Amino acid sequence: MAGHNRVVRDNVHRDIVLDEDISRLVDTRTFQRLRDIKQLATCQYVFPTATHTRFVHSLGAQHLAGILLEHLEKVDPGRISKEDGRLVRYAALLHDIGHPPFSHALESDEVFATYHHHETWGRKILEDPENDLRKVLIDLVGETGLKRLFSILDGKCELPVLHEIVSSQLDVDRLDYLMRDQINTGAKIGTFDVYRIFRSLRIGEDGHLMVTRGGVSEVESYLIMRYHMYHNVYFHKLNMLTTSYVIRALIRARELVESGELTVSVRMKRMLTDDSLSAKDYLALTDSLIQAELSAFATHHDPLLSKWGNLLASRSGLHKRVRVRNLTELGYWGARDNVREILSNAGYDPEHDMITARVHKEGYRPYSGGIKVEGGHDIKDVSPMVASIESLDDIMLFVPEDCRNAVEEVIEKAMAGE
């Protein structure tokens, strides 16, 4: 089988070796679609080089899974069977096949008439008897192997470590995307040694993944870098704002399609209006399809649709973030009516020009527990540094630039209790 191995050159892991069965999965149309799903959605508006895809991230995740499995076999021989190890690599490779266009950004029932979480879509894709990826899996591991793969993905197998390699607070998915996102955004905000983390991992007596005491400092580096990546990249104000523009454009498009005032592609129409979207039609949705439609919105006669389309197309006249430190939900709601009044008096429509974004998106959450250290403790119980990492749960408010100063004033007064 070694003669059939392929080598993919990667800017993060250098050489990624794909053996014959992984290559067969990668070569399916379902998997190849991930070339057209960007890892970081609208982040390229902030970091122009952040155009990497879920495709290469998935290759990287299965690559790291293979390295970790080899290590665990050395330190805890025989705990993970060869068959299960193979399925864990498949699970790491396929964990993102259910992502919608623009990744987490469009994971919303405001956009999809048929809304499911990306993991549910992934399951529906693999349960579709006509799906090419499912057919290859059945050929490789049979129906029994596919059921076992589902139990690993769902965390329902008797050995928890199988799921934790793919999905946990210290999984190959997070490790790959943090390394990859830092390199591709150019954000130099700390680093960690993934191989050193792997060397510190063991399978505990209870079957869970565990960090040795000697590995705590490297996991600290990982968690601190992760915090800074949330703060400076994933929750960058411009990334949050452009995501809001995209969602608002698609919500308006949905209204116009339903009233017969807008014609879009058959594929996008299904996304916006079909309340029983099939896995096959879901797989036809990609970033380039959405991007082409968004570009066309800029010249549409509907003022609201063209407004959002133009803000994305030209990037001039963007709303500005209100500069109030630690703006809370309470502070926002306390000043909300006054903010609406300021916007109305300036000739704006508060419904559309008062944009809020909440910093607690699914998929990118700071550490809150779940990494076990030998002795049964959570890492935050043995590391003061990890215990000090606070969860990000702010609210961002964006308003037209000429209203910003007045809005900041009324919010600060509300937060001071005046």
Task: Give residue-wise pLDDT tens across range 34-93.
Answer: 999 999 999 999 999 999 999 999 999 999 999 999 999 999 999 999 999 999 999 999
- Contact status, residue 180 vs residue 16, Cβ threshold 8 Å: no
Separation of alpha carbons 60 and 176, rounded Å: 6
Q: What is the pTM of this model?
A: 0.94
> Do 241 and 224 have their domain in common?
no
User: Does residue 332 lie within any of the structural domains?
Assistant: yes
- The one-character DSSP state at 108 is S
pLDDT at 314 over 60: yes
User: Does residue 386 lie within any of the structural domains?
Assistant: no
User: Does residue 385 lie within any of the structural domains?
Assistant: no
Q: What pLDDT score was predicted for residue 296? A: 96
Q: What percent of the chain has pLDDT over 70?
A: 96
Categorise residue 186: left if φ over 0, alpha if ψ from -120 to 50, beta otherwise: left
Residues 6+ apart with CB under 8 A from 27: none
Q: What pLDDT score was predicted for residue 366? A: 61
DSSP-derived 3-state class of residue 307: helix
> Do 247 and 222 have their domain in common?
no
pLDDT at 417 over 80: no
Domain count, the chain: 2
pLDDT at 363 over 50: no
For residues 156 and 325, the model is more confident at 156
User: Does residue 156 lie within any of the structural domains?
Assistant: yes
pLDDT at 257 over 50: yes
Residue type, 347: G
Q: What separation in angstroms does the CA of 140 have from each of 7, 134, 340, 352, 416?
A: 21, 10, 59, 52, 64
Separation of alpha carbons 190 and 171, rounded Å: 19
Instruction: Express each pLDDT in 291-303 by its tens digit.
Output: 999 999 999 999 9
**pLDDT-based confidence at residue 2 (cuts at 50, 70, 90):** very low
- Contact status, residue 283 vs residue 292, Cβ threshold 8 Å: no
User: Does residue 270 lie within any of the structural domains?
Assistant: yes
Lowest average pLDDT, out of 98-112, 172-186, 193-207, goes to 98-112
Residues 6+ apart with CB under 8 A from 283: 29, 30, 33, 125
Burial classification of residue 166, based on how many CB atoms lie within 10 Å of its CB (0-12 exposed, 13-18 middle, 19 or more buried): buried
Separation of alpha carbons 120 and 279, rounded Å: 10
Average confidence (pLDDT) over 260-270: 97
Question: DSSP states of 360-395 as a string?
Answer: --TT-----S--EETTTEEHHHH-HHHHTPPPP--E
Q: What pLDDT score was predicted for residue 362? A: 45
Q: What pLDDT score was predicted for residue 328? A: 80
The chain-wide mean pLDDT, for the chain, equals 94
> Do 184 and 256 have their domain in common?
no
> Do 35 and 132 have their domain in common?
yes
Q: What separation in angstroms does the CA of 272 have from each of 109, 317, 319, 345, 410?
A: 9, 28, 26, 34, 38
Tell which of 179, 211, 234 closes a domain: 234
CATH number assigned to the domain comprising residue 338: 1.20.1250.30
pLDDT at 418 over 90: no
CATH number assigned to the domain comprising residue 151: 1.10.3210.10
Q: What pLDDT score was predicted for residue 360? A: 59
Strand partners, 358: 395
Separation of alpha carbons 173 and 93, rounded Å: 9
**pLDDT-based confidence at residue 3 (cuts at 50, 70, 90):** low
Tell which of 210, 234, 258 closes a domain: 234
Helices (H) and strands (E) in the chain, counts: 20, 9
User: Does residue 128 lie within any of the structural domains?
Assistant: yes
> Do 187 and 274 have their domain in common?
no
Q: What separation in angstroms does the CA of 265 have from each of 124, 253, 289, 385?
A: 24, 12, 9, 51
Q: Which residue has the tokens 């411009």?
A: 238
- Contact status, residue 158 vs residue 168, Cβ threshold 8 Å: no
**pLDDT-based confidence at residue 387 (cuts at 50, 70, 90):** confident
> Do 52 and 26 have their domain in common?
yes
> Do 253 and 216 have their domain in common?
no
Lowest average pLDDT, out of 21-30, 93-102, 375-384, goes to 375-384
pLDDT at 415 over 90: no
> Do 146 and 19 have their domain in common?
yes
Domain containing 292 equals 237-361+394-415
